[in-house]
Amino acid sequence: MPSSINPCPLTRTEIITSNFIANRTRMVELAAYLDRVERAASGEDRNRDFLIEALVSALAMLVDGKGNRTQRVLERLSDPTIEPLVSAAGMKGADGAYRPKSKEEKP
């Protein structure tokens, strides 16, 4: 692993043991969430599948062996465009993941 400019004052073992249970819990929650999505038989929300695709691809980044995970995950889930959506926004908040426009969709 590359060395950090500002190394953590804790040892690797201290970091692992102090945060393991909380992160284990997060993983189980994500697994349960993905299981519920898979079990949902309804096809009515298929246009929202980009959220799951974004989440799964971001999860893969956690174990791909490459560094800079935080930045890469945030970039994967963030909208890279700089123009405001204005009237194109379907709601007042963000989806939580970026959905690239397909060629069929009109801007």
pLDDT for residue 6 is more than 60: yes
pLDDT for residue 102 is more than 50: yes
Per-residue confidence (pLDDT) for residue 107, from 0 to 100: 39
Let me know whether 72 and 51 are in one domain: yes
Cβ-contact 61, 69 below 8 angstroms:
yes
Q: Which domain holds residue 33?
A: 8-41
For residue 91, is it within any domain?
no
The residue written with tokens 């400019």 in the block is 5
Let me know whether 55 and 72 are in one domain: yes
Question: CA-to-CA distance for 68 and 4, rounded, in angstroms?
Answer: 11
Q: What is the pLDDT of residues 48-71, one digit of tens each?
A: 788 889 999 999 999 999 999 999
Contacts of 94 (CB under 8 A, 6+ apart): 79
Is this model's pTM higher than 0.95 or not?
no
For residue 96, is it within any domain?
no
For residue 28, is it within any domain?
yes
Query: What is the domain count for the chain?
Result: 2
